[in-house]
Amino acid sequence: MESGPGGSWHMALTAADKVLLQRCLKHDPGSWNDFIDRFLGLIYHVIHYTAHLRSVSLLPEDVEDIAAEIVSRLVENDYQILRQFRGQASLATYLTVVCRRLCLHELTKRQRRAVSTSTNLDREDRPKMQAGLENLEEVERLLRKLPTREREVVRLFYLEGRTYEEISNELHIPVNSIGPVLSRAKKRLRHAESGSSSSPRRSNGKDQS
């Protein structure tokens, strides 16, 4: 474990994981099975945790499908994602971040598919289905409207699924300040989103009744 400024820390890459990674990248016999045995539990945990943060209910078969998709992405293009790992943290930490992003992508696809194929949804239900799983480009556009600190907290919590403690360690801010920051950020984003989705109305700051 290495300490950084302000008490932040990350787990270092272990020798065993470094050897396991090298074996996979060299396509050593049995290496991928060993990799799956080592990290499949982590993948399932990330899926459940990410879905929980976004209030998405998943059936067991949904979890299996998402896990299979994540594993498929890890091996595609000759383990491209694994080859991008630079060893600056533990392999588990790197995979957690990668799996969160891949899981969020899969949840977003499923949500869009559910919305597009449903023909009898009440209008009031549609925003609820889409909430928290908007198009990532739109989310990034809205995030740019936030002050730097709020933007980082929102990005880590909603896009990477970090816990309050993880955010506190990474950004060097008190844990009990994160909730209020998220609350303020959500108000700003709602205002920005409603302003961009409705007809602009000019105001001089006074009531015109």
Q: Do 75 and 177 share a domain, yes or no? A: no
Which candidate, 89, 70, 98, 66, places its Cα nearest to that of 13? 89
Q: Is residue 20 part of a domain?
A: yes
Q: Which CATH number fits the domain that encloses residue 69?
A: 1.10.1740.10
Do residues 42 and 144 both lie within one domain?
no
Both 188 and 112 in one domain: the answer is no
7/109 same-domain check: yes
Q: Which pLDDT tens digit goes with each residue over 155-184?
A: 777 666 678 888 888 888 888 888 888 888
Q: Of the candidates 116, 151, 172, which is a domain's last residue?
A: 116
Q: What range defines the domain where residue 156 resides? A: 134-197
Q: What does the angle CA 157 – CA 42 – CA 132 come to, to the nearest 5 degrees?
A: 30
Residues 167 and 91 in one domain: no
Residue 172 counted as domain residue: yes
Say if residue 92 is in the same domain as residue 176.
no
Interval 68-119: pLDDT, tens = 999 999 999 999 999 999 888 889 989 999 999 999 988 888 777 765 544 4
**Residues 40-67 pLDDT 10s:** 999 999 999 999 888 888 888 999 999 9
Q: Are residues 150 and 105 in the same domain?
A: no
**Residue 129 counted as domain residue:** no
Establish if 71 belongs to a structural domain. yes
Q: What is the pLDDT of residue 153?
A: 84
* Closest residue by Cα to residue 71 from 41, 48, 93, 111: 41
**Contact (Cβ atoms closer than 8 angstroms) between residue 130 and residue 56:** no
pLDDT of residue 34: 95
CATH number at residue 184: 1.10.10.10
Distance CA 25, CA 27 (A): 5
pLDDT at 180: 85
Residues 20 and 67 in one domain: yes
Q: What is the pLDDT of residues 14-37, one digit of tens each?
A: 999 999 999 999 999 999 999 999
Q: Is residue 193 a part of any domain in this protein?
A: yes
Instruction: Determine, yes or no, domain membership for 128.
Output: no
Instruction: Specify the pLDDT at position 88.
Output: 82
Number of domain units in the chain: 2
The whole-number pLDDT of residue 79 equals: 94
134 pLDDT higher than 60: no
Which of 5-14, 101-110, 140-149 is most confident? 101-110
User: pLDDT class for 185, splitting at 50, 70, 90?
Assistant: confident
Model pTM greater than 0.85? no
Would you say residue 127 lies in a domain? no
Predicted local confidence at residue 132, as pLDDT: 40
